[in-house]
Structure 1
Amino acid sequence: IVECNTAYGGGRADTENHLKAAKDHGFTAIAPVDIMDAEGEVALPVKGGKHLKEDFVGSHYLNYDFTVVLSHFKGHAMGGFGGAIKNISIGIASSAGKAWIHSAGKTKGNPWGNLPPQDDFLESMAEAAKAIIDHCGDKILYISVANNLSVDCDCDSSPEDPKMGDIGILASLDPVALDKACTDLVRASEDHGKIHLIERIDSRNGMHTLEYGEKIGLGSQKYELVKLD
């Protein structure tokens, strides 16, 4: 299980406390946990980026030759929703790399006092994801668990309780298609609780991440949904 430290304080902002949080939540009992920026970061190039020319990831990420991206699909206070693209961009980024993305390439320090226009942040997430995808080639797959659907991210210290029932588990080799399928299933659901999540996605212009991601070659918003019993 791989992870990087956060850029916003809290119990996962440094390696020692991050590993303690992993242990407290039972992750270390499942598999070794590697905080990838415990020994610094490395830069991956962003080809054709409008905001980012490089993406800063935990240095240990270069130790791996295949990536399985396990995401909890849910809402997000800044991105509108969090899924595969957010997980590989923000999740694999080092602590300073997270600040770099949130500031649209302006600072690796505290970005919270002077955040960029919303679409610049969303586009920066897609550009950081492109650096990961270009690095991995075809050695990456994506699984999203669309259960316990809250409007807030798991990173929120006091998230809103889930208002929507479980949708299920989806997987793809295309992160854009996967995120689009998850959002489509939310919108098509008969669960009345979906209005809260849809409002969060649309109020943050969250679908722009997929539009821009498709434009820069992350994948396609067209997909075929294959149901497995």
Structure 2
Amino acid sequence: MTKAGISNIDFKDKYVAIKMHFGEPGNLAFLRPNWAKCVASKVKELGGKPFLTDCNTLYVGGRKNALDHLLTAEENGFSYISTGCQIIIGDGLKGSDDIEVPVEDGKYIKSAKIGRAIMDADVFISLNHFKGHEGTGFGGALKNIGMGCGSRRGKMEMHVSGKPNVNLDKCIGCGMCTKICAHQAPIIKDRKCTIDHERCVGCGRCIAICPKDAIQEGTSHSNEILNCRMMEYAKGVLSGRDCFHISIAIDISPNCDCHGENDMPIIPNIGLFASFDPVALDQACADMANKMPENPNSMLSEAKKCHHDHFDDIHPDTSWKQGLEYAESIGLGTRQYNLIEVK
């Protein structure tokens, strides 16, 4: 953090939101509290008033409202004692405490719905676990910001074009999708599943959980549109204030930390990255990840190798490059970077 220039920010007596993910119950890959403590301690050393934050989820799980969210954080080890700062759920008790933030020149989003506590902060720090992701290829700084800071209605707005369909030839009627859906959208009849699009919010959890890959994105461009909307949400969060970004590329799981389970890491640990530019940060992490060998017996080792890219191989229907290209085009940063190694 010091080498990347965090001390150039004026933290004196300012509220500092440290946006991170507290891990879903049962997940083992989430960032541990000691990482948050390091960041919070540095912010306090520089005169700031840090708090940890995240927004509630659309799907059923341990973080769908503030009470469950705080309980999950506590069970996963996050407390004032372990981190040195308090936790504030960004969009309130039921995920409805948000503020509409204009997105300058937004193509898809004119007004992003962001958790109010996150927007009330004077300084924003993104602390993310770099890993694979079933909807966006990988989850890094920009996903932590864009999707993570959206309120429940904001997340729904980002996901709305991705309502899935079921390939009935592949479906075995196992019911895994019904267990993970918060909205009772999957319906099993005669051992086959259909998705009720009136109930579905397009979060994609059923796609990731299906053991037969029978559930597919609703349109051929839904992931691309999700990426674009997410990047515009990130622009709304970051515009007009001091921001700093940290990515921790360890325990690089194939899927998001939102899962209540996770496969073994797909590649060896890489290290820690920090930058004022979230686009450059994500690009650098992806480039470094693609230089790493695959871990034997991981999801990556079992994937078809047809893309020469780890994240495209494990999630062939995603397009992480398109997401970063769009982020660069709307002024979130640059994909060009100089990687300075700190030993």
TM-score using structure 2 length: 0.62
- Segment of structure 1 superposing worse, 115-124 or 43-52: 115-124
CA distance in 2, matches of 1:86, 1:72: 10
In 1, Cα distance between the equivalents of 2:58 and 2:277? 27
Offset at 1:204?
Answer: 0.6
State the AA in 1 paired with 2:59. Answer: Y
Given that residues 147 and 168 in structure 1 are in contact (C-alpha distance below 8 angstroms), is that contact kept between their aligned partners in structure 2? yes
Q: How far off is 1:96 after superposition? A: 1.6
C-alpha deviation, 1:8, in angstroms:
1.0
**Partner SS for 2:320:** coil
Give yes or no for the alignment of 1:77 onto 2:128: no
Equivalent residue number for residue 13 of structure 1: 64
User: In 2, distance between residues paired with 1:104 and 1:44?
Assistant: 21
Q: Does the residue aligned with 1:16 lie in a helix, a strand or coil? A: helix
2:227 aligns with 122
Q: Which residue of 2 aligns with 1:184?
A: 287
Q: Structure 1 residue 115: deviation in Å?
A: 5.3
1:22-101 correspondence runs (5 A)? 22-28=73-79, 29=81, 30=83, 31-38=85-92, 40-101=97-158
Residues 1:222 and 2:336 aligned together:
yes
Q: 1:202 deviation in Å?
A: 5.2
Superposed CA RMSD = 2.1
**What SS does the corresponding residue of 1:42 show, helix, strand or coil?**
strand
Residue in 1 aligned with 2:202? 112
What is the letter of the counterpart of residue 16 of structure 1? L
Match of 2:159 in 1: 102
* TM norm structure 1: 0.91
Give 3-state SS (helix, strand or coil) of 2:71's partner: helix
Q: CA deviation at 1:145?
A: 0.2
Q: CA deviation at 1:103?
A: 1.8
1:208 counterpart = 2:259 = no
Give the secondary structure class of the aligned counterpart of 2:264: coil
Structure ID, larger Rg: 2
- Closer, same or farther in 2 for the Cα pair 1:45/1:214, shift >3 Å? same
Q: Which runs of 5+ in 1 are unaligned?
A: none
> Is the 8 Å Cα contact of residues 146 and 166 (structure 1) preserved in structure 2?
yes
After superposition, the C-alpha distances for 1:91-135 in whole angstroms (9 at most, x for unaligned) are 1111221111122599xx852288562211111111111111214
- Structure 2 gap segments, 5+ residues each: 1-51, 164-198, 204-216, 304-309
Structure 2 residue aligned with 1:155, among 247, 255, 258?
258
Q: Where do 1:161-176 residues align within 5 Å?
A: 161-176=264-279
Between the aligned partners of 1:202 and 1:181, the Cα distance in structure 2 is 21
> What SS is found at the alignment partner of 1:33?
strand
Deviation track 1:28-52 (CA, whole Å, cap 9, x = no partner) reads: 1322110011161111111111111
1:3 corresponds, among 35, 54, 60, to 54
Greater mean deviation of Cα atoms: 169-178 or 62-71:
62-71
What SS is found at the alignment partner of 1:103? helix
